[in-house]
Structure 1
Amino acid sequence: MHVPDQEIQLRETPGCLEIRINRPDRKNALTLAMYRTMIDALERASASDDIRVVLFTGEGEAFCAGNDLKDFLAVADTGATEAINFIRAVATFDKPLVAAVHGACIGVGTTMLFHFDLVYAADDAQFVMPFVNLGLVPEGGSSLAAPAIFGRAKAAELLMLGEPLSAEDGEASGFVTRVMPVAEVQDYARSRVDDLLQRPPQALAKTRNLLADNREAMLAQIEVEAEVFAGALKGAEVQQAIAAFFARRK
Structure 2
Amino acid sequence: MEILHESEFRNHTLALTLSGDGGRPILDHSAYERLSRELDRAEADDEVRVVILKGLSGCFCLGGDLSEFLDPSKHETLIKAVSGMFRRLARFSKPMLGCVDGDAIGVGCTVLFHCDLVYASPKSTFRVPFVDLGLVPDAATSLLAPEKLGYASAFRFFCLGETLKADAALKLGLISDLVEDTDPETRARQTARRLAKKPARALSQTRMLLKGDSAELCNRIDREISLFHNALQDEATIRRLKRVSRMAA
Is the TM value for this pair above 0.5?
A: yes
Structure 2 unaligned spans of 5+: none
1:92 partnered with 2:130: no
* 2:103–2:125 contact (8 Å) kept in structure 1: yes
What do you get for the CA RMSD once the two structures are aligned? 2.1
1:120 partnered with 2:119: yes
Given residue 120 of structure 1, which amino acid in structure 2 is its aligned partner?
Y
CA distance in structure 1 between the aligned counterparts of 2:34 and 2:24, rounded to whole angstroms: 18
CA distance in structure 2 between the aligned counterparts of 1:69 and 1:249, rounded to whole angstroms: 10
1:61 partnered with 2:58: yes
CA distance in structure 2 between the aligned counterparts of 1:65 and 1:223, rounded to whole angstroms: 23
After TM superposition, the structure 1 = structure 2 runs for residues 197-212 of structure 1, keeping only pairs within 5 Å, are 197-212=196-211
Which residue does 2:79 correspond to in 1?
Answer: 80
After TM superposition, the structure 1 = structure 2 runs for residues 7-156 of structure 1, keeping only pairs within 5 Å, are 9-22=6-19, 28-74=25-71, 75-76=74-75, 80-156=79-155
Which residue does 1:186 correspond to in 2?
Answer: 185
CA distance in structure 1 between the aligned counterparts of 2:181 and 2:104, rounded to whole angstroms: 14
CA distance in structure 2 between the aligned counterparts of 1:105 and 1:182, rounded to whole angstroms: 21
* 1:24–1:62 contact (8 Å) kept in structure 2: no
Aligned residues: 246
* 2:20–2:28 contact (8 Å) kept in structure 1: no
* 1:79–1:230 contact (8 Å) kept in structure 2: no
Identity of aligned residues (%): 31
Given residue 126 of structure 2, which amino acid in structure 1 is its aligned partner?
F
* Structure-2-length-normalised TM-score: 0.90
Moved more, 139-148 or 78-87: 78-87
Deviation at 1:48, TM superposition (A): 0.7
Deviation at 1:65, TM superposition (A): 0.5
Question: Quick one: structure 1 residues 137 and 80, their matched pair in 2 at CA, closer, same or farther if it must change by over 3 Å?
Answer: same
CA distance in structure 1 between the aligned counterparts of 2:168 and 2:24, rounded to whole angstroms: 23
Deviations, residues 174-210 of structure 1 (Å, cap 9, x unaligned):
2211011395111111111001012222221221022
